[in-house]
Structure 1
């Protein structure tokens, strides 16, 4: 199906845009293009690309299938028309249910709802914030709850007849994040469910596919980082030589965390084998594309560890393209972020298998929470809930195997008896189931003078 899509500026073409979004007619769609470049300077590229991937289908749908008062809706339409278009998209394309509430509308997820509903709502609200900031949309943000500030200010504080103290004061109970947002569309019944990946050989299948495909040493090192550290791919791609030197342990690197604004507030730990591969990459393959030919020990602290073939910092989109080729060769459809889920699941399994007492389990769980830098310690409990379910499934399967074996033995022995006494039923129970570059592309970028 035709849709909007984006493409990076081809090598050798001089343009003010590093990326352009095109519509289904292969014509440049400047609003989304400007949105990308504005957000690129504010958040990680992987996040911007994720936003584009969820907005491009919406703008295609908006162009052909949106209606408001018997007319099509354009992206720069009045706020009510945009709201109606977003509402229709949530219902028709994302299988959500919408219920009106005071000053906003509640979004109820169903069993058929897309997993990207929250991402879409964040992206579309961010798009209009950008358009307003760039003065390309002159009306009020249609995705903002205009009554939000008033509703928050009206809530009483702990001190009677006085305004609430700021959150930083720590003297009053914080307002619920989920209930108090400035979004016009608010997800009401959202429940985050982690990806529990029980294929313990998953990393090795990826490594083998990479070797077969003849991947670059750079991508092998990055992939090993993902599975060994549990770090987000954006955090790995942002690593510098100085991040390695900041830690006293030779197998650790300082790293950013989501929402840390580039501050190195945590560390990640790699295996001795991956450390050898990292140094080998920096001293060999990386030098072919770097502007400086010095080896690892002489590189400046600010030098990024991973470079593209152009000698620029390696981006998420470039890595993802190579990652997709490798995983496809392995016969696996896998988002890079799932390596993080695999890491947590594996660590949790190791904690239970290698601990002798409940106290040891709790102590190791606290260490894992601190390592992952989760803002909410309850995040691990969600993993545990689903991990416990998996452990029950394993137990249940073994129990059923035992039942089947006993059944076979019973009927085998029954044939030897002339009278078979009916077994007494003690209990019944029920379990609930839980590139080729194209000429038109070069022409577009060449027309975008710097």
Structure 2
């Protein structure tokens, strides 16, 4: 695993390597204890057929998938109990054996690769080695026809990428409060605020430089890279005045104390990292994640840093619907959000909109339930008194007004749908 880490860190970013390690560790523990092939425990460096069987068993027993054999590969079908990390695990284990082959630590062919794929598609231009592609709906990849295919021996058949929706509106403040109780460094507070206020990925925040702040004319904005932009600053992020004050304080105190050269901000080169470790080096994801985990555990929350991005989008969308003056205004603001997030596929936003529609229905349903409860109490009271109040025999006008106030046409369609 250590050799795998050092091989992969030269090819992909640290946060991805750590994610792969975290999903591989339980597999290698399991393979030593519970795997079976030809009546024996499977060894990680054993023949490909044994490794494939161990992975197949793990997918079924531990990740609750259904596996169906197909020509030259096996299809993975997700179930309601399936782990959300199936794709991550498959990418990690395939990458692990690629590293072992590269370092000549595994004497066979890669057991996680469909050998027929290389013959058919291996020479297509643009294939990206050692890195899994996000689906088109994620908004991070330009679609090419061959990208729907994969060289994996285990192919997920029915997975649909869906971003996580974070509807806890107080989530950032719970994190900030827990951080203050844990006496976190000002640097980590600033970074956490950047995450929730900008919607940027943690990797994009950690790669900010002094020059990124200087490039923008607005004092609350910084230029930033985007996933797949090859380090080019193609977007900007925007922070609040309060976070700007904290950033200035950090630069003038903690950062300056940690920096190898004790110079003022205006004398720093554009290439200088904005966030530094206590040793004066660029602050890494693994170092931040360690501090982040300590704070979230203190808050009683299990939260990956990337979920702050989902919280941001959910919150922005809610604000758009609640404050827009018209349908055209909503559409205009949605386009602005898509441009700000730099999504390549605008359909990414529809998943969040679906959540918001569900939330609106929950609010409507709660109102209906409150009216039902009032009516029930009034009825029971009348029965107890031996009479039925006249108003109980009338139509529940308050409830009807709730249902029809926004869109009577929707209500008509709803009733017609009940007959289908």
TM-score, normalised by the number of residues in structure 1: 0.79
C-alpha deviation, 1:118, in angstroms: 0.7
C-alpha deviation, 1:326, in angstroms: 1.5
Cα RMSD for the two superposed structures: 2.7
Could you say if the C-alpha distance between residues 354 and 42 of structure 1 is closer, same or farther in structure 2, counting changes exceeding 3 Å? same
Q: Could you tell me which runs of 5 or more consecutive residues in structure 2 were left unpaired when the two chains were aligned.
A: 125-142, 397-414, 416-420
What does the per-residue CA deviation read over 1:101-160, in whole Å, with 9 as the maximum and x for residues that have no partner? 2221111111111111111011111111122222222322111111224455999xxxxx
Equivalents in 2 of 1:72, 1:34: separation in Å?
A: 23
Q: Does 1:317 align with 2:286?
A: yes
Equivalents in 1 of 2:188, 2:388: separation in Å?
A: 70
What does the per-residue CA deviation read over 1:219-274, in whole Å, with 9 as the maximum and x for residues that have no partner? 11001000001111111111111111222222111222223332222221111211
Equivalents in 1 of 2:150, 2:395: separation in Å?
A: 56
Q: Aligned to 1:147, what secondary structure does the other structure show? A: helix
The equivalent of 1:375 in structure 2 is 344
- Does the 8 A contact of 2:94 with 2:113 survive in 1? yes
The equivalent of 2:177 in structure 1 is 208
Equivalents in 2 of 1:424, 1:139: separation in Å?
A: 79
**What is the aligned counterpart of 1:71 among 40, 59, 68?**
40
The equivalent of 1:359 in structure 2 is 328
What does the per-residue CA deviation read over 1:164-220, in whole Å, with 9 as the maximum and x for residues that have no partner? xxxxxxxxx942644x11111111111223222222121112112222222111011
Q: Does 1:175 align with 2:145?
A: yes
Could you say if the C-alpha distance between residues 44 and 71 of structure 1 is closer, same or farther in structure 2, counting changes exceeding 3 Å? same
Equivalents in 2 of 1:191, 1:360: separation in Å?
A: 31
The equivalent of 1:350 in structure 2 is 319
Equivalents in 1 of 2:387, 2:112: separation in Å?
A: 78
Q: Could you tell me which runs of 5 or more consecutive residues in structure 1 were left unpaired when the two chains were aligned.
A: 1-31, 156-172, 430-450
- Does the 8 A contact of 1:237 with 1:306 survive in 2? yes
Q: Aligned to 2:278, what secondary structure does the other structure show? A: coil
Query: Which gives a bigger RCO, structure 1 or 2 (Cα 8 Å, sep 6+)?
Result: 1
Equivalents in 1 of 2:367, 2:264: separation in Å?
A: 55
Q: Does 1:91 align with 2:63?
A: no
Could you say if the C-alpha distance between residues 40 and 277 of structure 1 is closer, same or farther in structure 2, counting changes exceeding 3 Å? same
TM-score, normalised by the number of residues in structure 2: 0.84
Equivalents in 2 of 1:231, 1:153: separation in Å?
A: 34
Equivalents in 2 of 1:132, 1:66: separation in Å?
A: 22
The equivalent of 1:121 in structure 2 is 90
Alignment of 1:46-445 (within 5 A): 46-152=15-121, 174-175=144-145, 177-178=147-148, 180-415=149-384, 418=387
Could you say if the C-alpha distance between residues 111 and 226 of structure 1 is closer, same or farther in structure 2, counting changes exceeding 3 Å? same
Q: Which has the higher helix share?
A: 2
Equivalents in 1 of 2:363, 2:21: separation in Å?
A: 40
